[in-house]
A and B are shown apart, each in its own frame.
Chain A
Amino acid sequence: NAGVTQTPKFQVLKTGQSMTLQCAQDMNHNSMYWYRQDPGMGLRLIYYSASEGTTDKGEVPNGYNVSRLNKREFSLRLESAAPSQTSVYFCASSTHTDTQYFGPGTRLTVL
Protein backbone atom coordinates (compact mmCIF):
# COMPACT_ATOMS: atom_id res chain seq x y z
CA ASN A 1 0.00 0.00 0.00
CA ALA A 2 1.31 3.44 -0.94
CA GLY A 3 -1.04 5.16 1.55
CA VAL A 4 -1.58 8.81 0.61
CA THR A 5 0.43 10.17 -2.31
CA GLN A 6 0.75 13.79 -3.44
CA THR A 7 2.13 15.38 -6.59
CA PRO A 8 4.13 17.46 -7.16
CA LYS A 9 6.54 17.53 -4.19
CA PHE A 10 7.75 21.06 -4.97
CA GLN A 11 6.38 23.86 -7.12
CA VAL A 12 7.30 27.47 -7.81
CA LEU A 13 4.66 29.73 -9.37
CA LYS A 14 4.48 33.36 -10.36
CA THR A 15 1.66 35.51 -9.04
CA GLY A 16 -1.47 34.95 -11.09
CA GLN A 17 -0.54 31.50 -12.41
CA SER A 18 -2.80 28.53 -11.77
CA MET A 19 -2.03 24.98 -10.77
CA THR A 20 -3.62 21.81 -9.43
CA LEU A 21 -2.27 19.74 -6.56
CA GLN A 22 -3.08 16.07 -6.86
CA CYS A 23 -3.79 13.62 -4.04
CA ALA A 24 -4.64 9.93 -4.13
CA GLN A 25 -5.19 7.28 -1.44
CA ASP A 26 -5.38 3.51 -1.72
CA MET A 27 -6.91 2.73 1.70
CA ASN A 28 -10.54 2.84 0.56
CA HIS A 29 -11.23 5.82 2.83
CA ASN A 30 -14.42 7.78 2.41
CA SER A 31 -13.09 11.10 3.75
CA MET A 32 -10.30 13.24 2.33
CA TYR A 33 -8.86 16.59 3.40
CA TRP A 34 -6.60 19.42 2.26
CA TYR A 35 -4.57 21.39 4.83
CA ARG A 36 -1.98 24.11 4.65
CA GLN A 37 0.88 24.53 7.10
CA ASP A 38 2.66 27.83 7.60
CA PRO A 39 5.83 28.37 9.68
CA GLY A 40 5.17 28.22 13.41
CA MET A 41 1.54 27.33 12.89
CA GLY A 42 -0.31 24.11 12.97
CA LEU A 43 -2.25 22.76 10.05
CA ARG A 44 -5.35 24.64 8.91
CA LEU A 45 -8.12 22.91 7.00
CA ILE A 46 -8.79 24.30 3.52
CA TYR A 47 -11.46 21.92 2.20
CA TYR A 48 -12.64 18.43 2.96
CA SER A 49 -14.74 15.74 1.34
CA ALA A 50 -16.71 13.50 3.69
CA SER A 51 -17.58 11.10 0.87
CA GLU A 52 -17.36 10.77 -2.89
CA GLY A 53 -19.40 13.50 -4.53
CA THR A 54 -19.38 15.93 -1.60
CA THR A 55 -17.04 18.76 -0.67
CA ASP A 56 -17.20 21.39 2.08
CA LYS A 57 -15.23 24.45 3.10
CA GLY A 58 -12.83 24.36 6.00
CA GLU A 59 -11.25 27.20 7.93
CA VAL A 60 -9.33 28.88 5.07
CA PRO A 61 -11.04 28.14 1.70
CA ASN A 62 -10.62 31.51 -0.04
CA GLY A 63 -8.55 31.31 -3.23
CA TYR A 64 -8.93 27.53 -3.58
CA ASN A 65 -11.23 25.05 -5.29
CA VAL A 66 -11.40 21.29 -4.93
CA SER A 67 -12.64 18.30 -6.88
CA ARG A 68 -13.38 14.85 -5.50
CA LEU A 69 -12.75 13.03 -8.76
CA ASN A 70 -13.60 9.60 -7.38
CA LYS A 71 -13.19 7.77 -4.09
CA ARG A 72 -9.40 7.65 -4.46
CA GLU A 73 -8.58 11.15 -5.70
CA PHE A 74 -9.05 14.65 -4.29
CA SER A 75 -7.45 17.60 -6.07
CA LEU A 76 -6.83 21.18 -4.93
CA ARG A 77 -6.74 24.00 -7.46
CA LEU A 78 -5.30 27.49 -7.18
CA GLU A 79 -6.90 29.55 -9.95
CA SER A 80 -4.77 32.69 -9.53
CA ALA A 81 -1.89 32.13 -7.15
CA ALA A 82 -0.91 34.84 -4.65
CA PRO A 83 2.23 35.15 -2.47
CA SER A 84 0.01 34.57 0.59
CA GLN A 85 -0.56 31.05 -0.70
CA THR A 86 3.10 30.16 -0.26
CA SER A 87 2.88 27.24 2.12
CA VAL A 88 3.21 23.50 2.55
CA TYR A 89 0.06 21.66 1.51
CA PHE A 90 -0.92 18.33 3.01
CA CYS A 91 -3.58 15.92 1.87
CA ALA A 92 -5.06 13.39 4.31
CA SER A 93 -7.65 10.65 4.29
CA SER A 94 -9.60 8.71 6.90
CA THR A 95 -12.62 6.62 7.66
CA HIS A 96 -15.38 8.45 9.54
CA THR A 97 -14.08 7.47 12.95
CA ASP A 98 -10.37 6.67 12.61
CA THR A 99 -7.29 8.84 12.66
CA GLN A 100 -6.26 10.73 9.54
CA TYR A 101 -3.41 9.49 7.37
CA PHE A 102 -1.26 12.18 5.79
CA GLY A 103 0.65 12.47 2.54
CA PRO A 104 4.25 13.79 2.36
CA GLY A 105 3.22 17.32 1.40
CA THR A 106 3.70 19.74 -1.50
CA ARG A 107 5.97 22.74 -0.93
CA LEU A 108 4.60 25.66 -2.92
CA THR A 109 6.30 29.01 -3.40
CA VAL A 110 4.47 31.87 -5.12
CA LEU A 111 6.73 34.70 -6.28
Chain B
Amino acid sequence: KQEVTQIPAALSVPEGENLVLNCSFTDSAIYNLQWFRQDPGKGLTSLLLIQSSQREQTSGRLNASLDKSSGRSTLYIAASQPGDSATYLCAVRPDNAGNMLTFGGGTRLMVKP
Protein backbone atom coordinates (compact mmCIF):
# COMPACT_ATOMS: atom_id res chain seq x y z
CA LYS B 1 0.00 0.00 0.00
CA GLN B 2 1.37 3.40 -0.98
CA GLU B 3 2.23 5.68 1.94
CA VAL B 4 3.09 9.34 1.57
CA THR B 5 4.91 11.26 4.29
CA GLN B 6 5.59 14.97 4.54
CA ILE B 7 8.23 16.48 6.76
CA PRO B 8 8.09 18.82 8.60
CA ALA B 9 4.46 18.90 9.68
CA ALA B 10 4.75 22.61 10.41
CA LEU B 11 7.26 25.30 9.53
CA SER B 12 7.60 28.96 10.47
CA VAL B 13 10.04 31.22 8.61
CA PRO B 14 10.69 34.95 8.29
CA GLU B 15 9.67 36.65 5.07
CA GLY B 16 12.26 36.46 2.29
CA GLU B 17 13.70 33.07 3.17
CA ASN B 18 14.07 30.31 0.62
CA LEU B 19 12.59 27.08 1.91
CA VAL B 20 12.19 23.42 1.04
CA LEU B 21 9.26 21.15 1.80
CA ASN B 22 9.79 17.41 1.65
CA CYS B 23 7.59 14.55 0.49
CA SER B 24 8.47 10.86 0.47
CA PHE B 25 6.53 7.88 -0.86
CA THR B 26 7.02 4.15 -0.38
CA ASP B 27 6.10 2.74 -3.80
CA SER B 28 8.07 4.13 -6.75
CA ALA B 29 5.54 2.84 -9.32
CA ILE B 30 3.85 6.21 -9.77
CA TYR B 31 2.25 7.90 -12.77
CA ASN B 32 2.74 11.43 -11.44
CA LEU B 33 3.20 13.48 -8.29
CA GLN B 34 1.36 16.68 -7.51
CA TRP B 35 1.75 19.52 -5.04
CA PHE B 36 -1.36 21.29 -3.79
CA ARG B 37 -1.94 24.36 -1.66
CA GLN B 38 -4.75 24.56 0.90
CA ASP B 39 -5.73 27.81 2.58
CA PRO B 40 -7.56 27.63 5.94
CA GLY B 41 -11.19 26.63 5.47
CA LYS B 42 -10.77 26.23 1.72
CA GLY B 43 -10.39 23.50 -0.85
CA LEU B 44 -7.16 22.45 -2.56
CA THR B 45 -5.51 24.26 -5.45
CA SER B 46 -3.07 22.45 -7.72
CA LEU B 47 0.38 24.08 -7.84
CA LEU B 48 2.59 21.73 -9.82
CA LEU B 49 2.24 18.34 -11.45
CA ILE B 50 5.33 16.27 -12.29
CA GLN B 51 4.98 13.29 -14.60
CA SER B 52 6.97 10.19 -13.64
CA SER B 53 9.33 10.75 -16.57
CA GLN B 54 10.14 14.31 -15.48
CA ARG B 55 12.68 15.51 -12.94
CA GLU B 56 11.21 18.90 -12.09
CA GLN B 57 8.56 21.50 -12.79
CA THR B 58 8.66 25.25 -12.20
CA SER B 59 5.99 27.86 -11.77
CA GLY B 60 7.07 31.35 -10.76
CA ARG B 61 8.83 31.14 -7.39
CA LEU B 62 7.95 27.46 -7.00
CA ASN B 63 10.09 24.55 -8.15
CA ALA B 64 9.20 20.93 -7.55
CA SER B 65 11.62 18.08 -8.10
CA LEU B 66 11.02 14.36 -8.32
CA ASP B 67 13.41 11.46 -7.67
CA LYS B 68 11.20 8.50 -8.37
CA SER B 69 13.78 5.81 -7.66
CA SER B 70 14.40 7.09 -4.14
CA GLY B 71 10.74 7.93 -3.51
CA ARG B 72 11.26 11.63 -2.85
CA SER B 73 9.99 15.00 -3.99
CA THR B 74 10.80 18.49 -2.80
CA LEU B 75 8.94 21.76 -3.21
CA TYR B 76 11.26 24.75 -3.22
CA ILE B 77 9.77 28.17 -2.52
CA ALA B 78 12.03 31.10 -3.31
CA ALA B 79 11.87 34.44 -1.51
CA SER B 80 8.93 33.46 0.67
CA GLN B 81 6.10 35.97 1.30
CA PRO B 82 3.37 36.14 3.96
CA GLY B 83 0.89 35.27 1.21
CA ASP B 84 2.60 31.88 0.89
CA SER B 85 1.26 30.93 4.33
CA ALA B 86 -0.91 27.85 3.82
CA THR B 87 -0.80 24.08 4.07
CA TYR B 88 1.06 22.32 1.27
CA LEU B 89 0.08 18.77 0.35
CA CYS B 90 1.77 16.35 -1.96
CA ALA B 91 -0.10 13.51 -3.61
CA VAL B 92 0.97 10.60 -5.79
CA ARG B 93 -1.00 8.89 -8.50
CA PRO B 94 -0.17 5.19 -8.79
CA ASP B 95 0.79 3.68 -12.12
CA ASN B 96 -2.10 1.23 -12.21
CA ALA B 97 -5.02 2.75 -10.32
CA GLY B 98 -6.65 5.30 -12.58
CA ASN B 99 -6.55 8.92 -11.50
CA MET B 100 -6.70 8.16 -7.78
CA LEU B 101 -4.42 10.08 -5.46
CA THR B 102 -2.74 9.15 -2.19
CA PHE B 103 -2.04 12.24 -0.09
CA GLY B 104 0.57 13.08 2.51
CA GLY B 105 -0.44 14.72 5.78
CA GLY B 106 0.70 18.16 4.65
CA THR B 107 3.16 20.81 5.84
CA ARG B 108 1.61 23.86 7.49
CA LEU B 109 3.72 26.89 6.50
CA MET B 110 3.70 30.24 8.25
CA VAL B 111 5.72 33.09 6.72
CA LYS B 112 6.13 35.96 9.17
CA PRO B 113 6.41 39.56 7.95
Interface residues of A (CB under 8 A from B): 4, 31, 33, 40-45, 48, 50, 58, 90, 92, 94-97, 99-105
Tell which of A33, A48, A90, A100 touches B46, judged by Cβ atoms closer than 8 Å.
A100
- Within residues 10 to 62 of chain B, which ones have a CB less than 8 A from any CB in chain A? 34, 36, 41-46, 49
Tell which of B6, B43, B99 touches A105, judged by Cβ atoms closer than 8 Å.
B43
Q: How many residues of B contact A (CB 8 A)?
A: 22
Q: Are A40 and B101 in contact (CB under 8 A)?
A: no
The yes or no answer to B78 lying at the interface (CB within 8 A) is no
Q: Are B105 and A42 in contact (CB under 8 A)?
A: yes
Q: When A and B form their complex, what is the total count of cross-chain residue pairs whose Cβ atoms lie within 8 Å? A: 54
With known contacts A42-B106, A43-B89, A48–B100 Cβ distance under 8 A: yes
Q: Are A103 and B43 in contact (CB under 8 A)?
A: yes
Interface residues of B (CB under 8 A from A): 4, 6, 9, 34, 36, 41-46, 49, 89, 91, 98-101, 103-106
Q: Are B105 and A58 in contact (CB under 8 A)?
A: no
Chain B hits for A33, CB < 8 A? 100
Q: Are B103 and A102 in contact (CB under 8 A)?
A: no
